[in-house]
Amino acid sequence: MKKRSSASLHRFTACALLASSLGTAFFAACGGDDTPPPSSLLDATGGSDTSREGATLDGDTSSDGSTDAPDGSIPLGDATADGNNVSDTNPGVDAAPPPLVCSSLSSLAAAGAALPISTGSDDWLGSVSPDELSIAWTAGNSGAFTVYYSDRSATSNAFGTPKVLAGSFAFDRVALSPDGLTIVAVSANRKSFAEFARASRTDAFGAGNDTFVNINDDAVGMAASFGDPVFAPNSFQLYYSVYDGTATSTIYSTQRIFKNDNWQSGTPIPSPNELKAQGALRRRPTGLSSDSRILFYYDEVASKSFAATYTFGATTFDKFTDLGAVSGVQVNNACSRFYFSRTATNVDLFATP
């Protein structure tokens, strides 16, 4: 890859982050290489600096004692960091925000039907690709469990015979990339993420690229554990958890510019009380809507799932919807179907019609 200058990289990152939510046409308009985006966009975003100098596990205070929100922690929706919306056709001019993809949210406690691929053990949903053609989950409990994945060629078909992901992992969620070709699990010691890849959905997963090298290096010498990886539907943002039983801001976010780039070191997202840990009990991310404006998470304090919505003009997620006593909530691209785990006879995989 051609090496970029520092200034060019900042300009490019600003454009890429906006393009991740506004679309590839916007990215092309910004210039797909070293062409800087319009100056009004640079003014709005201020580029991207992911330095961890002065960061703490909570991530709330910088080295100068200020409490600025970490760069990149604003959800990649339609608003810029200063809360102003950017028009596609006239950058810098306020425009009405697009409607939420998930415009209707309600309890899933009695919704949906069990998926036939559910096993005789407890099945904990890990991830469903946004096109609904690939699914991954963990079956069993912390004493003995197996990571499975399954694929299908069309949403009108049932998922195929489950396949086993070989390896030694922590009892945690697994995450599929949006194209279903990468799967990420938490290492057995919870100090790193393990990545596996395949060339097509008909192939088995094998060793993948080590795109988590920066994040995994952050764990060296830390007492904290890692978990809960969640890909954004655009492949350029990732949510995950960093926790040690004392920190309250445990949900982290990171970005990258290109699909196969290494993930940058992450930073905690600005967390209202609804997203903060309470002692050892955490709020654990499970999924994102296709516009990245709704974060689905499991609340260990309340033993149920919620949807955290990023409202236009806010600095972080600020509206919370109770989804009931379910876990692992994820949605398809259109937010027309929900996938989750719920207790029936065992904990089974469910999907709404």
**pLDDT of 156 strictly over 90:** yes
Least confident of 43-47, 212-216, 221-225, 326-330: 43-47
Lowest mean pLDDT among 20-34, 76-90, 150-164: 20-34
The CA-atom distances, in angstroms, between 338 and each of 98, 129, 150, 155 are 21, 12, 17, 13
pLDDT computed for residue 325 by the predictor? 97
Chain segment 273-304, per-residue pLDDT in tens: 999 999 999 999 999 999 999 999 999 999 99
What percentage of the chain reaches a pLDDT higher than 90? 63
Lowest-pLDDT range of 15-29, 105-119, 317-331: 15-29
Instruction: Name 286's Cβ contacts closer than 8 Å, sequence gap at least 6.
Output: 125, 173, 228, 230, 296, 297, 298, 305, 327, 328, 329, 330
pLDDT value for 218: 86
Q: What's the mean pLDDT in 121-142?
A: 95
pLDDT at 292: 93
What is the pLDDT at residue 65? 36
- Confidence class for position 144, pLDDT limits 50, 70, 90: confident
Q: Note the pLDDT of residue 259.
A: 86
Of the pLDDT bands very low, low, confident and very high (cuts 50, 70, 90), residue 143 is confident
pLDDT at 100: 94
pLDDT band at 210 (very low <50, low <70, confident <90, very high): confident
Cα(92)–Cα(47) distance, rounded to whole angstroms?
15
pLDDT of res. 201: 96
Residues with Cβ within 8 Å of 60's Cβ and at least 6 positions away in sequence, in order, are 67, 249, 268
- The candidate with the shortest Cα–Cα distance to 179, out of 261, 230, 235, 137, is 235
pLDDT, residue 42, reads: 26
In CATH, the number for domain 113-351 is: 2.115.10.20
| Sequence-ordered alpha helix ranges (H) in the chain | 6-22, 24-30, 39-45, 213-218
Confidence of residue 220 (pLDDT cuts 50, 70, 90): confident
Instruction: Please give the pLDDT value at position 209.
Output: 84
Provide the residue ranges of all domains of the chain, joining segments of one domain with +.
113-351
Q: Is the pTM of this model over 0.85?
A: no
2-43, pLDDT tens digit by residue?
333 434 443 344 444 444 444 433 333 343 333 332 222 223
Average pLDDT across the chain, whole number: 79
The alpha carbon of 214 is separated from its chain's Cα centroid by a whole number of angstroms, namely 17
Q: What is the largest CA-CA distance in the chain?
A: 58
For residue 169, pLDDT over 50 is answered with yes
The pLDDT value recorded for residue 289 is: 97
Do 62 and 55 meet the contact criterion of CB atoms below 8 Å apart? Answer: yes
Determine the 3-state secondary structure of 156 from DSSP.
Answer: coil
Q: How many helices (H) and strands (E) does the chain have?
A: 4, 20
Q: What is the mean pLDDT of residues 140-146?
A: 87
